[in-house]
Amino acid sequence: MATETRSAVHDHIRLGRLYPVSPDRVFRAFSDPAAKAAWFAGGDGYQVLERSMDFRIGGREKVQGRWETGAVSTFDAVYHDILPGERLVYSYVMHLDDRKISVSLATIQLSAEDSGTRVILDEQGVYLDGYDDSGSRARGTGMLLDRLGASLVR
Question: Which of the four pLDDT bands, split at 50, 70 and 90, describes residue 3?
Answer: low
| pLDDT for the residue 28 | 98
Determine the average pLDDT of the residues in 61-78.
Answer: 97
* pLDDT surpassing 50 at residue 19: yes
Please state, in angstroms and rounded to a whole number, the distance separating the CA atoms of residues 26 and 45: 26
Question: Which of the four pLDDT bands, split at 50, 70 and 90, describes residue 25?
Answer: very high
The residue among 5 and 95 whose pLDDT is bigger is: 95
Q: What's the whole-model pTM score?
A: 0.93
Determine the average pLDDT of the residues in 76-83.
Answer: 98
Q: How does the average pLDDT of the chain come out, rounded? A: 95
Please state, in angstroms and rounded to a whole number, the distance separating the CA atoms of residues 76 and 120: 21
* pLDDT surpassing 80 at residue 145: yes
| pLDDT for the residue 2 | 53
Please state the separation of Cα 105 from the chain's center in Å. Answer: 10
Please report, rounded to a whole number, the percentage of residues in the chain having pLDDT higher than 90: 88
In this structure, the dihedral spanned by the alpha carbons of residues 36, 42, 47 and 48, taken in order and rounded to 10 degrees, is -30
CATH number of 8-152: 3.30.530.20
Long-range contacts of 126-129 (CB under 8 A, 24+ apart): 126/8, 126/9, 126/10, 126/11, 126/102, 127/8, 127/9, 127/10, 127/11, 127/101, 127/102, 128/7, 128/8, 128/100, 128/101, 128/102, 128/103, 129/4, 129/5, 129/6, 129/7, 129/99, 129/100
Determine the average pLDDT of the residues in 139-145.
Answer: 95
> Comparing C-alpha atoms, which of 85, 84, 104, 86 is closest to residue 94?
104
| pLDDT for the residue 1 | 45
Determine the average pLDDT of the residues in 15-41.
Answer: 97
